[in-house]
Amino acid sequence: MGLTETESTPETLAAFYRTLQEHDLQPLWQIADQLLTQSPQPATKPWMWRWTLLLALAERAGKLIDIHEGGDRRVLSLANPGLGGQPFATSTLWGAVQYLNAGEHAPAHRHTPGAIRFILRGDGVYTTVNGDGCDMHPGDLVLTPSWSWHDHNSSADDPVVWFDGLDIPTVQALDAVFFENYPDERPQDVVQEHNRSERLYGGRGLLPLSAGAVTHRHSPLLVYRRADIDAALTGLLEQCGGPMASMEFVDPTSGRPVMPTMGCEMHRLVAERRTRPFRKVGSSVVVVYSGAGSSVINGRLFDWNSGDILAIPSWAIVEHEATEPTDLFAITDTPVLKALGLYREEIHQTPQHITEVFS
């Protein structure tokens, strides 16, 4: 073994480490333990934002802030306290509440981060996505995929509030963010009839002839309706029983997630039944669409009601228990982890001990 013991004094070592640092090198043997951990050690904390607070602050922003301030969007982003001040709900996902006053128009732009809109309150708004006007109603999911032009338009009498989910942290970590405003400040060209994607790709087991042969980067179906979501969950629950029925929103031309960077899910909880402890690699942001109950995440108890939003870190153990029939909407980074061969999941047998209560 080539090690010349005589040289290895504390002084020679210290000098050696200084030399390394001066030349932009680091010794793996001093950092291997932090770097290659036995299991994921996410900075993301299990966290919750309450709807009552979110709504009150969004309404306040609706009064205080003109929509044409920076970014042309009135958005409050969830900043997980574990992430050192970054405006991200988890290490890979952006979550936010967007608020559009009656009659407002949020002008068109596009960006490589992909976005979804899950409508929480209000009617009378549509989002135009590459010329297709997508009507938005509570409980609907609307996609504005990577690099598609999109604007939001209100003809409502009241404000409308929705949840924004984006893959910004992932796209940023890959140094792949591009952004562009719509040319010449013109309004986006809109085709006359709304909900074009729904008419083309909204069939049950039916696609326009030969459409299945075309490969899309993201779902060409841009709107998923509450009534269909409800029917699908009802059917699955009838078939498979509780405590939880879980559906995924998919690209109907491929059966794959709606976007390569972000998955969308809907979970229906049967009241008074606890789910088995579950964990997976990858994080989630969960929006309580309706119902009430509680979750235990890594031993921490979260009591929630309709509209509350939770952040779940990678590899955190999760159990849910509803006190009334509950629907949870979630965004995840699962498609990324599966595409890269890094996905794992575990179901545990023993419920967690509650060691802390979130308040």
**Between 9 and 355, CB nearer to a copy of itself:** 9
Judged by CB under 8 A, the stretch of 120-128, 196-204, 289-297, 346-354 that binds a copy of itself is: 196-204
149 sits near a copy of itself (criterion: CB under 8 A):
no
Cβ burial, residue 335 (10 Å; 0-12/13-18/19+)? buried
Interatomic CA distance for residues 54 and 32, integer angstroms: 41
Site for a copy of itself in 109-148 (CB under 8 A): 111-113, 146
Contacts of 253 (CB under 8 A, 6+ apart): 201, 207, 211, 212, 214, 216, 219, 220
Amino acid making up residue 25: L
Please select the residue that binds a copy of itself; options are 117, 150, 152, 218, rule is CB under 8 A.
Answer: 218
Does an H or E element contain 233, and which? helix 226-240
Quickly tell me which residue has 């989630």 as its tokens. Answer: 284
Please select the residue that binds a copy of itself; options are 10, 186, 192, 340, rule is CB under 8 A.
Answer: 340
Amino acid making up residue 11: E
Please select the residue that binds a copy of itself; options are 136, 221, 286, 312, rule is CB under 8 A.
Answer: 221
Question: Closest distance between a copy of itself and the C-beta of residue 190, in Å?
Answer: 15
Judged by CB under 8 A, the stretch of 24-32, 123-131, 182-190, 299-307 that binds a copy of itself is: 24-32
Please select the residue that binds a copy of itself; options are 163, 313, 321, 329, rule is CB under 8 A.
Answer: 313
What single DSSP character describes residue 192?
A: S
Please select the residue that binds a copy of itself; options are 116, 120, 229, 312, rule is CB under 8 A.
Answer: 229
Question: Closest distance between a copy of itself and the C-beta of residue 176, in Å?
Answer: 4
**Between 24 and 353, CB nearer to a copy of itself:** 24
Site for a copy of itself in 69-108 (CB under 8 A): 69-71, 73-81, 87, 91-92, 96, 101-104
Contacts of 239 (CB under 8 A, 6+ apart): none
Judged by CB under 8 A, the stretch of 118-126, 203-211, 269-277, 288-296 that binds a copy of itself is: 203-211
Interatomic CA distance for residues 232 and 341, integer angstroms: 29
Contacts of 92 (CB under 8 A, 6+ apart): 167, 169, 170, 173, 282, 283, 333, 336
Please select the residue that binds a copy of itself; options are 52, 155, 339, 346, rule is CB under 8 A.
Answer: 339
**Between 147 and 323, CB nearer to a copy of itself:** 147
Please select the residue that binds a copy of itself; options are 252, 291, 293, 307, rule is CB under 8 A.
Answer: 252
Checking phi first, is residue 9 left (phi over 0); if not, alpha (psi -120 to 50) or beta? beta
Instruction: Sort strands 179-181 and 105-111 into parallel, antiparallel or unpaired.
Output: antiparallel
Site string (43-62) toward a copy of itself, x via CB under 8 A: -x--x-x---xx--x--xxx
Site for a copy of itself in 314-333 (CB under 8 A): 314-315, 333
- Cα separations (Å) of 356 from 90, 169, 204, 295, 305? 20, 28, 45, 12, 19
357 sits near a copy of itself (criterion: CB under 8 A):
no
